[in-house]
């Protein structure tokens, strides 16, 4: 069964996937599941690029561009710190 809900509906579905991946990433970091949090970085950023590509000829492009520039430094900064913590696991 194929749904044809138009371009606006498709981008809303992609935005919902972005929110889902972002929540999984944040919840895994809050629960200190660092490996899962780091592994969710690629789908989260990938969906952001997909949203930008699909809205490249609409005014929503600039909103998605701001999402990219707002989230990518945070995502990669947290992922890098998590990897460093995993590789230098010390006990007190």
Whether 71 has a pLDDT exceeding 80, the answer reads no
Contact 79, 41 (CB under 8 A): yes
Residue 5: CB partners within 8 Å, gap ≥ 6? none
Contact 50, 14 (CB under 8 A): yes
24-65 pLDDT tens trace? 988 887 888 878 877 888 888 888 888 888 888 888 888 888
46-75 burial: b if 16+ Cβ within 10 Å, else e: ebbebbbebbeeeebeeebeebeeeeeeeb
- Rg (the chain; Cα; Å): 16
């Amino acid at each position: 069964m194929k749904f044809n809900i138009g371009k606006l509906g498709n981008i809303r579905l992609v935005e919902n996937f972005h929110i889902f991946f972002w929540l999984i990433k944040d919840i895994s970091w809050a629960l200190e599941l660092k490996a899962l949090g780091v592994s969710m970085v690629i789908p989260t950023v990938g969906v952001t690029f997909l949203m930008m590509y699909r809205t490249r000829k609409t005014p929503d492009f600039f909103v998605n561009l701001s999402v990219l520039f707002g989230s990518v430094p945070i995502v990669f900064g947290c992922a890098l710190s998590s990897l460093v913590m995993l590789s230098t696991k010390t006990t007190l």
